Amino acid sequence: MNKKIQRSLAVVSAATLLFGVSAVSSAGAAQKTVYLAFQAPLTGANALTGQDELTAARFALSEYNATNPSVKVELVIADDQGLAEVAAVVAPGIAANKKVIGLIGPAFSGATQASLPAYKATGLPMISMSATRVSLTDKKAPVNGFPIFKRVVANDKFQGPALARYAIKGVSSPSVYLVDDKTAYGKGLADYTKPSIVKDAKIAGSDSVPENTSDYTSVVAKVKASGANVVIYCGYAPDAAKFVKALRDGGYTGIFAAGDGVLKATFPNNAGNTAAEGARLTAADVPFEDVATAAQMVAYTKLTGISKPGTYVTSTYNATNIFLTCIKQGVTTRPGMQNCLTAGSFKGIAGDTIKFDRYGDIIGGAAVGAFTIKAGKIVYVAVA
Amino acid sequence: MNLQVLESQFWSLCLQGLALGFIYVLISLGYTMVYGVLRLINFANSEVFMVGTFATVVAQVGILQNQTDAQPLNGFRLIYTLTFALVFSMLICGFLGILVELVAYRRLRALGAKPLGFLISAIATSIVLLETTRILTFSRPQTSPRLLDKWSFGEFAGANFRIDTVMVIISGIVIFFTLDRFVTKTRLGKAIRAVSMSEEISKLMGINLNRVVSLTFFIGGLTTGAAAFFYTTVYETTQFNVGFNLGLAAFTTAVLGGIGNLRGAFYGGLFLGVLEQFASAILGSQWKSVTVFTVLVLVLLLKPNGIFGEAVQQTRT
Amino acid sequence: MINLRDKGASVWENWSPPARSSFVLIVITLVALLPYAGDFGPTSFLNTPISSYQAVLVYPIALFVLMGLGLNIVVGKSGLLDLGYVAFFAIGAYTMGIMGTMTSLNTWEILPFGIFFAMLAGLLLGLPALRLRGDYLAIVTLGFGEIVRIIALNLEVTGGPNGVVGVPTPPPILGQKFELDDHKAYFWVILIMILLVIWMVRRFTVRRPGRAWEAIRQDEDVAALMGVNLLIYKLWSFTIGAAVGGAGGVIYASKTMFIAPDMFTFNTSILVLACIVFGGLGNIWGVILGASILAYLPERIRFISNARQLVFGLVLLIIMNVRPDGLLPRKKREKILQKAVK
């Protein structure tokens, strides 16, 4: 019996410790501090995207706080696991937290869709770094993000055609095999890529391979049987790495092209330099290491422990800096932030100008960059 | 429907399906062995597999200091590296299996818990393994260097006999029949079968029950670790969430053949591997799982205990 | 080991009927007041960091309790291992999503349809699957759960991976409006549904179906020998469980206004199952307690963002080791019976 009591005491004290910590951390709000919320998947199957993005938000904030500003900024980090049902629980909480004056995120379109009602009801301005679903900024959509939703990433309507154009550029009699990963992101991009392919090339076939599939040999078999000379993949980097490797090992010699979900330093790393060589990638999000200064990269690595930044790091960095710019101008309220975002003009890390249109997309910022991979490095080619 | 792919790719799909099937077989032995002895589904096995894939990468990159962009090795160095990684992964998974039994099963068995209690504690263990690995790897995929140059023996009827495919198939057969002989012929194997027939009677016969159970988890871990090594060698990349899909496929494998039946798992895995390839080639990859489960239901309707019936002890009757 | 459930039962039996009724009323009132607990001084420790406490009360807590009670009929009462329970929840949610956006029916009118379709699915799955035993049934139900999700992912009418957007919220009942940022009304509706399910389960338990389920759970062969029609009663338990899941799904879709296939993964099935085993299989109060704790815990520990799920797994593992039969296990009498059988 005694042992049991001890054990339950241990559980109870562990619980008090946890709950106690929370009480302390929520009470420690200093004066002249405003909060930005960050919403992305940090645990669960989609954690990689959110964890990568979080490094950028942290980094931008550390740069800002290092300048000893009069208003301190802290992050409220909310993990939505990239899932709509979790976002629906998280969003009302952040919306109700009056200290939060801006939201970086949500990272995923589905989570954004589920979060919008709560944020709209409380007028919390938000800038997403990676929600690419077209309907979020479409004025005709049944539920769009007007007026609070902004994004610093090109939506599928811009990226899809650019991807199709770039993929078949310079290919004589292109025949395209289109593969998506059956996620909201991949399917959405594929749906907007397809019409452009139909216009300029022949579609040899298409397939939807669910995320986290290990074995792509049956798709490779189909690609080979169809005689396609261009393969376009709409999905994320880990799966793209497996797919392109299977394609090259299976003897496919044509072009491999993919969208911004794949454009990150870990892609050539995971696929192997030989397999990734020459892959054509598009993104409105340029690789962070290409646009950051050397000193910034050193500081970034020191802060996060990561030397190869992942996807959407640049866009998250930009999104965070846009909020920080407004705060530097003296904004400390949600309506103030909303006005600042709607009216203001901002500088991206690459020196580009960011201005939002009425429904939240970047004005003229839909320029999608074309990249390729040379000897394991991502190389910028041109505007696609 | 896409039947045109069959004309040129039929044998290629078969071969790839077999290679995949052998990986399923090896993972499913982790379920089969434990089920045979304890009549419990070892839900943590999928995460044991996941840890094994990382163990392989650690062995190749961390311990033997091969860079991720290293050139393929050859000769003695290659054999030594592959063998070391295989043994390392198997041992890590084997001992992890014992650990899983200790934290998730041992105490519950002593308290006489119901099967569902074990199921939940095994799932809790797999959450712990999954999240620990995720935090340790920053949620990132890890790459295993291409140490084995993937040369081909040649093409036969459109099927490309690549070295890694052939290696998986041959090693799968060797490992499976070694295990089969171990269970049917050796003293320890007989003890496992005895426990699987009746716990009470084997206790009376002087068999140390806990040791046999630990041994079962260890052996299940060994084969799962071997599967993890082959998986990493063929696909050369792994991530913290790799376990779920493969674990599910391996579990399906075990059920198809008859849970707890070694030979059932063998044929079940090969059948499943080939079925998956053809389903995704003909119907499209998005319908693969639906096809697999539909076939599974049909099989179970005809043979309610799987194709080969249940239990380890029946392998030799 | 202390069996809290038996202790509670013996206290309860010594009470007079008026004492019992007033106790029940007080408990229901207290539970109904839960949405206010987050802002009320002495109970404000319940408040969840980052996420909204009131939203957490609706989903996951209340809906997990509801699903737990539904699944408990299948797993706890009749001993059929169902690893795909989320399928029925999904069918209810998609019925609401599709009918709500395409027809002019409101949530309360769609509710019977949601329940009906879930029951129909339960029947269609049950007819072949319920001939199987134990772990074979488990994998078939698991497969069914995945099939429903994948079909929702692949079809056009369900919106594919984008799901259904703009699902209407319920019209007001008795002057109580269902506002977006006001979660209390949803909580009360689900609370009423939970009470109805509890009442239903208790009625069943003491009547013929309950006894048949009990017999099936303890020994199928003996039950068949005693003249229990196995398939019929198994189907009953399956479809009733499905109905509860479907009803939960309808309310859920109407609450979040947006549904997508990734809301209905295997994880949810497992989590609901974990809730009822953790609480005490087969015991209504255990199920409620287990679901409340397991749904609440991950939200309460949100401040440790990175290791949140890890802590959740550890807690689950430790408690299962300490109390393998759950926090409030089934009556001891049955355990003694089981021992005797062994």
Please provide residue A67's backbone torsions phi and psi, each rounded to the nearest 5 degrees: -85, 10
Q: Is the pLDDT of residue B313 over 50?
A: no
What would the DSSP string read from start to end of C162-210? G-EE-PPPPPPBTTB---TT--HHHHHHHHHHHHHHHHHHHHHHHSHHH
**Other C-beta atoms within 10 Å of A383: how many?**
11
Give Cα separations from C8 to A278, B184, C200, C331 (angstroms).
71, 52, 21, 11
Which of C139, C278, C341 would best serve as a mutation to test chain B binding (most B beta carbons within 10 A)?
C139
H or E segment to which residue A3 belongs: helix A2-27
| pLDDT per residue as tens digits for the range A285-295 | 777 888 889 99
Which of A5, A16, A85 would best serve as a mutation to test chain C binding (most C beta carbons within 10 A)?
A85
Cα separation, B227 vs B89, whole angstroms:
9
Instruction: Check B141 against A219: CB less than 8 A apart.
Output: no
The residue among A283, A276, A359 whose CA lies nearest residue A314 is A283
On whether the CB atoms of residues C318 and C96 are closer than 8 A, the answer is no
Q: Which of A43, A92, A188 sits opposite C181 (nearest CB)?
A: A92
Record the tokens describing residue B17, joined without a space.
């399906």
| pLDDT per residue as tens digits for the range B77-133 | 999 999 999 999 999 999 999 999 999 999 999 998 888 999 999 999 999 999 999
% of chain A residues with pLDDT over 90: 44
User: B–C: how many Cβ contacts below 8 A?
Assistant: 120
Q: Which residues of C touch B287 (CB under 8 A)?
A: 150, 154
pLDDT at B80: 93
Nearest CA in chain B to A272: B69
Q: Is the pLDDT of residue A379 over 80?
A: yes
Put simply, whether A122 touches C (Cβ < 8 Å) is: yes
Q: Which of C150, C154, C308 sits opposite A43 (nearest CB)?
A: C308
Q: How far A52 CA sits from the closest chain B CA (Å)?
A: 9
Q: Which of B131, B143, B288 sits opposite A43 (nearest CB)?
A: B131
Q: Which residues of C touch B251 (CB under 8 A)?
A: 139
Q: Is the pLDDT of residue B22 over 50?
A: yes
Q: Is the pLDDT of residue A25 over 70?
A: no
**Other C-beta atoms within 10 Å of B2: how many?**
14
Instruction: Check C163 against A26: CB less than 8 A apart.
Output: no
Q: Per-residue confidence at B154, pLDDT binned at 50, 70, 90?
A: confident
Record the tokens describing residue B1, joined without a space.
């429907």
The residues, any chain, with a CB within 8 Å of residue C208's CB and separated by 6 or more, are none
Q: Which residues of A touch C51 (CB under 8 A)?
A: 78, 89-90, 92-94
pLDDT at B311: 53
Q: Is the pLDDT of residue A10 over 60?
A: no
Q: How far A237 CA sits from the closest chain B CA (Å)?
A: 9
| pLDDT per residue as tens digits for the range A30-81 | 457 899 999 999 987 788 889 999 999 999 999 999 988 889 999 999 998 8
pLDDT at C67: 96
Instruction: Check B4 against A213: CB less than 8 A apart.
Output: no
Which of A89, A98, A119 would best serve as a mutation to test chain C binding (most C beta carbons within 10 A)?
A89
Interface of A with C in 48-77 (CB under 8 A): 76-77
| pLDDT per residue as tens digits for the range A333-352 | 999 999 999 998 998 888 88
More confident residue, C70 or A159: C70
| pLDDT per residue as tens digits for the range A111-152 | 998 899 889 988 999 999 988 888 899 888 878 888 999 999
Record the tokens describing residue A192, joined without a space.
């907007």
Nearest CA in chain A to C154: A182
Cα separation, A48 vs B195, whole angstroms:
44
Q: Is the pLDDT of residue B13 over 60?
A: yes
Q: Is the pLDDT of residue B312 over 50?
A: no
Cα separation, A320 vs C340, whole angstroms:
67
Q: Which residues of C touch A26 (CB under 8 A)?
A: 49, 303
Q: Which residues of C touch A118 (CB under 8 A)?
A: 52, 180-181
Instruction: Check A209 against B286: CB less than 8 A apart.
Output: yes
Instruction: Check C274 against B290: CB less than 8 A apart.
Output: no
pLDDT at A12: 46
| Residue matched to tokens 């960011």 | A354
| pLDDT per residue as tens digits for the range B132-150 | 999 999 888 888 888 888 8
Give the amino acid at A324.
L
Give Cα separations from C54 to A95, A110, A119, C170 (angstroms).
13, 22, 16, 18
Instruction: Check A218 against B16: CB less than 8 A apart.
Output: yes
Q: Taking CA B246 as the corner, what is the angle to CA B241 and CA B252, rounded to the nearest 5 degrees?
A: 140
Which of C4, C86, C165 would best serve as a mutation to test chain A binding (most A beta carbons within 10 A)?
C165
Q: How far C97 CA sits from the closest chain A CA (Å)?
A: 14
pLDDT at A384: 63
Q: How far B129 CA sits from the closest chain C CA (Å)?
A: 8
Give Cα separations from C200 to B262, C207, C289 (angstroms).
45, 11, 19
Cα separation, A191 vs A160, whole angstroms:
8
Put simply, whether B128 touches C (Cβ < 8 Å) is: yes
On whether the CB atoms of residues A112 and A136 are closer than 8 A, the answer is yes
Q: Per-residue confidence at B18, pLDDT binned at 50, 70, 90?
A: very high
Put simply, whether B1 touches C (Cβ < 8 Å) is: no
Interface of B with C in 135-174 (CB under 8 A): 135
Interface of B with C in 193-252 (CB under 8 A): 244, 248, 251-252
Which of C277, C334, C335, C337 would best serve as a mutation to test chain B binding (most B beta carbons within 10 A)?
C277
Q: Per-residue confidence at B1, pLDDT binned at 50, 70, 90?
A: low
Q: Which of A210-224, B47-61, B182-196, C30-44 has the lowest mean pLDDT?
A: C30-44
Q: How far C128 CA sits from the closest chain B CA (Å)?
A: 7
Q: Is the pLDDT of residue A215 over 70?
A: yes
Give Cα separations from B221 to B43, B47, C142 (angstroms).
13, 11, 24
Q: Which of B126, B135, B287 sits opposite C307 (nearest CB)?
A: B135
The residues, any chain, with a CB within 8 Å of residue C307's CB and separated by 6 or more, are B131, B135
Q: Which residues pair with residue A378 across a beta bridge?
A: A373
With an 8 Å Cβ cutoff, the interface of chain B facing chain A consists of 2, 4-5, 7-9, 12-13, 16, 20, 68-69, 131, 134, 138-141, 143, 146, 150, 160, 162, 231, 235-237, 239, 241-242, 244-246, 276-278, 280-281, 284-286, 288-289
The ipTM is 0.91
Instruction: Check B135 against C306: CB less than 8 A apart.
Output: yes
Q: Is the pLDDT of residue B266 over 90?
A: yes
Instruction: Check C309 against A42: CB less than 8 A apart.
Output: no
pLDDT at A1: 42
DSSP designation for C15: S
Residue A254, SS3 per DSSP: coil
| pLDDT per residue as tens digits for the range A168-177 | 999 989 999 9
What beta strand segments (E) does chain A contain? Answer: 33-40, 72-79, 100-104, 126-128, 149-151, 175-180, 202-208, 230-234, 255-258, 280-283, 346-347, 353-354, 369-374, 377-383
Q: How far B48 CA sits from the closest chain C CA (Å)?
A: 16
The residue among C264, C267, C331, C259 whose CA lies nearest residue C294 is C267
Q: Can you give the pTM of this predicted structure? A: 0.90
Give Cα separations from A293 to A52, A62, A284, A290, A297 (angstroms).
19, 16, 19, 8, 6
pLDDT at B307: 81
H or E segment to which residue C259 belongs: strand C258-259
Q: Is the pLDDT of residue A26 over 50?
A: no
pLDDT at C332: 56
Q: Which residues of A touch B134 (CB under 8 A)?
A: 43, 47
Instruction: Check A269 against B68: CB less than 8 A apart.
Output: yes
Q: Per-residue confidence at A29, pLDDT binned at 50, 70, 90?
A: very low
More confident residue, A161 or A30: A161
pLDDT at B315: 40
More confident residue, A285 or B218: B218
- The one-digit pLDDT tens for each residue of chain C (342 residues) are 567 777 888 888 888 889 999 999 999 999 998 888 887 777 778 888 888 888 889 988 999 999 999 999 999 998 999 999 999 999 999 999 999 999 989 999 999 999 999 999 999 999 988 888 778 899 899 999 999 999 999 998 998 888 998 899 899 887 778 877 678 899 999 999 999 999 999 999 888 999 999 899 888 889 999 889 999 999 999 999 999 999 999 999 998 888 999 889 998 999 999 999 999 888 899 999 999 999 999 888 888 878 888 999 999 999 999 998 888 887 655 554 555 554
- Chain center to CA of A167: 22
| Neighbors of chain B with 3 or more C-beta pairs under 8 Å | A, C
What would the DSSP string read from start to end of chain B? ---HHHHHHHHHHHHHHHHHHHHHHHHHHHHHHHHHHHS---TTHHHHHHHHHHHHHIIIIIIS---TTPPPB-HHHHHHHHHHHHHHHHHHHHHHHHHHIIIIIIHHHHTT--HHHHHHHHHHHHHHHHHHHHHHTTT--EE----B---EEEEETTEEEEHHHHHHHHHHHHHHHHHHHHHHHSHHHHHHHHHHH-HHHHHHTT--HHHHHHHHHHHHHHHHHHHHHHHHHHH-EE-TT-HHHHHHHHHHHHHHH-TT-HHHHHHHHHHHHHHHHHHHHHT-GGGHHHHHHHHHHHHHHHSTT-TT-S-GGGGG-
Give the amino acid at C51.
S
pLDDT at A13: 47
Instruction: Check C147 against B290: CB less than 8 A apart.
Output: yes
Q: How far B104 CA sits from the closest chain C CA (Å)?
A: 7
Question: What is the residue-averaged pLDDT of chain B?
Answer: 90
pLDDT at A24: 40
More confident residue, A91 or C178: A91
pLDDT at A22: 42
Interface of A with C in 199-238 (CB under 8 A): 208, 210
What would the DSSP string read from start to end of A274-297? HHHTT-EEEESS--HHHHS-HHHH
pLDDT at B212: 93
pLDDT at C65: 96
How many residues belong to chain C?
A: 342
Cα separation, C115 vs C136, whole angstroms:
26
On whether the CB atoms of residues C178 and C186 are closer than 8 A, the answer is yes
Mean of pLDDT values over A373-383:
84
Longest dimension (CA), chain C: 59
Put simply, whether C48 touches A (Cβ < 8 Å) is: yes
Cα separation, A125 vs A104, whole angstroms:
9
Instruction: Check B296 against C143: CB less than 8 A apart.
Output: yes
Record the tokens describing residue C40, joined without a space.
């009320």
Instruction: Check B276 against A215: CB less than 8 A apart.
Output: yes
More confident residue, B37 or C92: C92
pLDDT at A16: 46
Query: Strands A255-258 and A230-234: what pairing?
Result: parallel
On whether the CB atoms of residues B184 and B61 are closer than 8 A, the answer is no
Instruction: Check A142 against C54: CB less than 8 A apart.
Output: no
